Copies of this chain bind each other. A is one copy, B any other.
Amino acid sequence: MKPLKVALLGCGVVGSQVIRLMHEQAGDLAARVGAPLELAGVAVRRLGRKRDIDVDPGLLTTDAESLVTRDDVDIVIEVIGGIEPARSLIVAALSRGKSVVTANKALLAEDGATLHEAARAGKGDLYFEASVAGAIPLLRPLRESLAGDHVKRVLGIVNGTTNYILDKMDSTGASFTDALEEAQTLGYAEADPTADVEGFDAAAKAAILAGLAFHSRVRADEVHREGITEITATDVASAKAMGYVIKLLAICARSDDGRSFGVRVHPAMIPRSHPLAGVREAYNAVFVEAESAGQLMFYGKGAGGAPTASAVLGDLVAVGRNRLAGTRGPDESTYADLAVHPMGETVTRCHVALDVADKPGVLAQVAELFAKHDVSIQTVRQEGRGDDAQLVIVTHRATDAALSATMSGLRELDIVRAVASVMRVEGDD
């Protein structure tokens, strides 16, 4: 049987694992695809560099452009990441009718439309399971298994670095800075952790998830994004005392009328009984609520060479089978074309800790302000006395605009010395 020829772009952590697995599992892959897979070439930045894997030097090239447009190449795997040259290379390959497997969340979230259009025009496949939550089969279930259902909400822990940091803060009482340092020492966080701790990585994934869940097109810049750098050990301890845990969540939620949806990444308190609360260390998990299926959760490793390569190879098998059958997998589905609503329209509950003067009438004034903004209070608890007095309030569901206005108002009240912490509450409605 004529082999399918595969061009690999990138030979780093993921690329080298792809090469290893294609070699070690050649027999299984051939049986599952229906034809052998043959590595046609590997595009790298520098030829002489020492690599984690033995590659036939004859396969290495620095000319990625020529590799992806070679007539004999059937499938291109892109694991170099970033916007350029990845975009141009993928578009070049797709335009020539090749199929592409990519793990590039940033590119998909910035300019997925261009890639999908090129795939349609060239009649090839564009698969990207590895772009969100690494090894966890998540996009295929959303794209295909839930195709007969209505997704209402997706709550995801999709960034392992921040989950590791928050988990350490929760289990050891460490500060953000100390937990980050530990994560860096262990290789869970990069020297410049901005993309992770400021939520950029999670926002790109949220955009991809929302697009699939709601059959619409979403770009990363439409995602409301807040990171975890402001979270204190006190916030974590206070959440713990109330039976909650703080997680950085990617949240995609359809509005009650079903006509729009919100996409956001921010830290939130979730009840310890929620399935996502038990997701420890650098693991990822995505919780999906669908009208008929009810609550689903997908859990696993969200990053790392071998797990990401596993997702890439799963796509490679699917794409290979499609080529042999002369067909394509499901196309991008954007028929619903729902709008992303502004953050202000998002409805959440909120946990607020206020440092207040300990005197009669404080609660009445605070309560009046909440009422003025139409925010209904679920529980209120006073902690400490005198100068240490703190009011801890949890609201019912309200729009983010109303909650923001309430917080601004609180900051202006004389009796409120400080708004010590504000945190959204998710997963208990």
Residues on A close to B: CB < 8 A?
17, 21, 25, 28-29, 31-32, 129, 135-137, 140-141, 144-150, 215, 275, 278, 285, 290-301, 304, 306-307, 309-318, 321, 325-328, 330, 333, 335-336
Contact = CB atoms under 8 A, between A and B. Distances in A.
A308 to B, nearest CB: 9
A300 B310 contact: no
A38 to B, nearest CB: 15
Contacts of A315: 148
Nearest to A29: B148
24 contacts: A25-B148, A28-B215, A31-B333, A32-B333, A129-B145, A135-B290, A135-B292, A137-B144, A140-B140, A144-B317, A147-B314, A148-B312, A148-B317, A149-B313, A293-B300, A293-B307, A293-B311, A294-B300, A295-B300, A296-B299, A297-B297, A297-B298, A298-B299, A321-B330
Contacts of A312: 148
Given A31-B335, A278-B275, A146 B297 contact: no
Contacts of A316: 148
Chain B CB within 10 Å, residue with most, of A148, A297, A298 = A148
Contacts of A144: 137, 140, 314, 317-318
A293 B310 contact: yes
A140 B141 CA distance: 7
A150 to B, nearest CB: 7
B137 A317 contact: no
A98 to B, nearest CB: 18
Contact of A290 (B297, B310, B326): B310
Nearest to A37: B148
A334 to B, nearest CB: 10
B148 A310 contact: yes
A32 B137 contact: no
Nearest to A300: B296
Given A135-B292, A278-B275, A294-B300, A146 B335 contact: no
A362 to B, nearest CB: 40
Copy number in this complex? 2
Contact of A25 (B150, B306, B330): B150
Contact of A275 (B28, B150, B299): B299
A179 B311 CA distance: 41
A136 B31 CA distance: 27
Contacts of A321: 330
Given A140-B141, A293-B135, A294-B301, A21 B148 contact: yes
Nearest to A334: B31
Contacts of A29: 148
Given A141-B141, A325-B327, A148 B314 contact: yes
A243 to B, nearest CB: 15
B299 A299 contact: yes
Contacts of A310: 146, 148-149, 290-293
Chain B CB within 10 Å, residue with most, of A295, A301, A314 = A314
Given A141-B137, A327-B325, A32 B147 contact: yes
Contacts of A314: 144-149
Nearest to A20: B292
Nearest to A30: B335
Chain B CB within 10 Å, residue with most, of A136, A291, A296 = A296
A150 B328 contact: no
Nearest to A296: B300
A140 B317 CA distance: 13
A383 B391 CA distance: 49
Given A140-B141, A141-B137, A299-B275, A292 B148 contact: no
A17 B52 CA distance: 53
